[in-house]
Structure 1
Amino acid sequence: MAQRFALRIDPVAADDSRDDFAHTLTPMDVAAPALSVGELSTQRGDGVFESIGVVDGHANEVEAHVQRLAHSARLCDLPAPNLTQWRLAVDAVSAHAPAGEAVIKLILSRGVEHGPAPTAWATVAAAPDFRAVREQGVRVVTLDRGYDLGAGERAPWLLLGAKTLSYAVNMAALREARRRGAEDAIFVTRDGYVLEAPTASLIIRRGEEFLTPAPSGGILHGTTQLSVFEHLESGGHATRYATLSATDLATADAAWLVSSIRLAVAITAVDGAPLASDRALTAELNEFLLSPR
């Protein structure tokens, strides 16, 4: 199988009742130019995307991802994606996934400036090798996100709950974390509440209960966090959404960053202070997340 494959998607209306959109999916030459200089995804980051984990050709959590793509599109006033078409695109690129772990990217852009239609494409490629970080964990620093917990509800134009292509702040946060001697960061509100990592959701364990920040706080609703909670609940563990402070994180019995590609990674230190980790549970979570679902 090729190490990278891409499809251009000709978006159709969300209310199109057909169930076969194969003719709207066109293979792209991944080595050839594909975007116009007027493309708003590159000029302004004006679009939304999803990253889907693939294991041996099976794409995981597809429904949760396409539903979140639609949610992000709605927040950004983009045309509603036809989810049947996008599910078909996922199936089509999955068939070209390399063996082992891979990643599918779904991208929906506002298109060319002043153009008539959005631009959309799907790609699949081999995923980075995260086996070592899953085993060793990460040190994190907390970084001020610059707004209070209620900002997302007061100012929906900030798009705090959308997975947009505008990732410059997220990447800057990761660079700052490395400057501070850590591998990752967790955003904290001005009033002291934890949110999420730049590319992952946060889960903490307090006693026998597992907690994650509520998405109503203007954070992205994590697809992998949802899967982890379902797995924990099937094992008899209590889970819930909560408003968590920076102190809750620092005093947790254990904590993880979870995402579709890196999967479950234990947090081993917060702002330089060691944090206990549960190696056995981390291994169990990753075994589950690598299974078809």
Structure 2
Amino acid sequence: MTVLVFVDPEFPAGRPADPSQPQLSVLDQGVTRGDGVFETLLYTGGAVRKLDAHLARLESSAAMCELPVPSAQAWRSAVGTAVAAYDAARSAAGATEAPGMRHEATVKLVATRGPEGATHGTAWVTVSPAPELGQRQRETGLSVITLDRGYDSEAGDRAPWLLMGAKTLSYGVNMAALRHARKQGADDVIFVSSDGHVLEGATSTVLLAHREGPLKRLVTPTLQTGILPGTTQGAIFAAAQSAGWELGYGPLETQDLFEADAVWLVSSVRLLAPINSIDGVGIPRDRELHAELARMVDGIR
């Protein structure tokens, strides 16, 4: 069950379309060159979570790519049309939630440069059921391996054309890394720079925590290494700071992961997934810290 709505200036509320029928030109540069940006959001409980943060990051990614994109209001209207149509379709189909699991859907915003020579790009919203694997991994946790990203932590400053920190459609390397991890018997990866700095997951942000008596500290890699700023990480940090946690922003090395009291991969759809092992070495899993952070994540809107 997938709903598709194009962001179209001639349709203020968005233009619904049939996702099972051809809709996109084979000449679109989003297809031929990966020239575009995207965001993936979680829709659950009747709300699209962190829409403001995702729209802001989409605008930032587009600016880095010098890519014109629709206005925030145009995206909002199309998202509203899409989730309303999705809810109506589920209701008409008599859909129910699986036992012990709340229904979750992914809302994806995509903007491309359009066909070569076109006067404007292509933009659309889809809504579809979220993979149940993400919900399970919140409970079971993850095994990950570290992989060399192939550049040092200062490459982004030297080469801004690499678009580090932009969420572009060019995810071939990320998907190849996940396939490699699964061939090694792992669930996911943590990228490390060639000079030893912890970066990010293939589709997630790294968080680690330390507990020293009553003091709790939450740390994430520094953005100066060229990683994507995580919307979920940002929301968790805001909630943790309000709860009295200390916050830190790297730089981190691999050894810091093993010395933490708990480590997570966080993302907008999978949310908070604890790491059980890194490179085959077990990682502590402080269940009290995890439960407290999980409550914070549940409160994010």
With the length of structure 2 as denominator, give the TM-score of the two structures. Answer: 0.89
Matched, 1:102 2:121: no
Query: Within 2, Cα distance between the matches of 1:107 and 1:78?
Result: 12
Looking at structure 2, the residues matched to 160 and 63 of structure 1 have their Cα atoms a distance apart, in angstroms, of 22
Which of these residues, 19, 38, 54, is aligned with residue 49 of structure 1? Answer: 38
Q: Which residue of 2 aligns with 1:243?
A: 251
Distance in structure 1 (CA, Å) of the matches to 2:287 and 2:122: 43
Gaps of at least 5 residues in structure 2 are 91-102
Partner of 1:279: 287
Deviation, 1:283, is 3.8
Unaligned residue ranges in structure 1 (runs of 5+): 12-20
User: For 1:142-291, what aligned pairs fall within 5 Å after superposition?
Assistant: 142-207=146-211, 208-291=216-299
Q: Any residues of structure 2 matched to 1:47-126 within 5 Å, and which?
A: 47-98=36-87, 100-126=103-129
Mapped partners of 1:282, 1:183: distance in 2:
19
Q: What's the % identity of the aligned pairs?
A: 45
For 2:63, the aligned partner's letter is R
SS at match of 1:33: coil
Write the deviation string for residues 211-236 of structure 1: whole angstroms up to 9, x where unpaired: 00111211100000011112212221
Show the counterpart of 1:16.
Answer: none
CA distance in 2, matches of 1:126, 1:281: 29
Distance in 1 of aligned mates of 2:210 and 2:299: 27
For 2:249 and 2:182, the matched residues in 1 are separated by 29
From the superposition, tell whether residues 269 and 76 of structure 1 become closer, same or farther in structure 2 (CA, over 3 Å).
same
Q: CA deviation at 1:176?
A: 1.1
Is the CA contact 2:262–2:283 (under 8 Å) kept in the aligned structure 1?
Answer: yes
Aligned partner of 1:7 in structure 2 is 5
Q: Partner of 1:53: helix, strand, or coil?
A: strand
Assess if the C-alpha contact under 8 Å between 1:50 and 1:163 holds in 2.
yes
Give the number of equivalent residue pairs.
282
SS of the equivalent of 2:62 reads helix
2-structure distance, mates of 1:81, 1:158:
24
Kept in 2: contact 1:70–1:81 (CA 8 A) = no
Q: Using the alignment, how far apart are the partners of 2:135 and 2:73 within structure 1?
A: 33
1:255 Cα deviation from its structure 2 partner: 0.5
CA contact (8 A) 2:13 2:77 kept: no
In structure 2, distance between residues paired with 1:279 and 1:6: 39
Give the CA deviation at 1:287.
4.1
TM score, norm. by length of structure 1: 0.91
The offset of 1:26, in angstroms, is 0.4
Q: In structure 1, what is the Cα distance between the partners aligned to 2:202 and 2:260?
A: 20
Point out 4+ residue stretches in structure 1 off by more than 4 angstroms.
none
Q: Is the 8 A contact 2:233 2:266 kept in 1?
A: yes
Read off the aligned partner of 2:146 and give its amino acid letter: T
Q: How many angstroms apart in 1 are the aligned matches of 2:203 and 2:56?
A: 18
Q: How many Å apart are 1:33 and its aligned residue?
A: 0.5
1:16-55 to 2 correspondences below 5 Å: 23=12, 25-55=14-44
In the aligned structure 1, how far is the partner of 2:250 from the partner of 2:70? Answer: 31
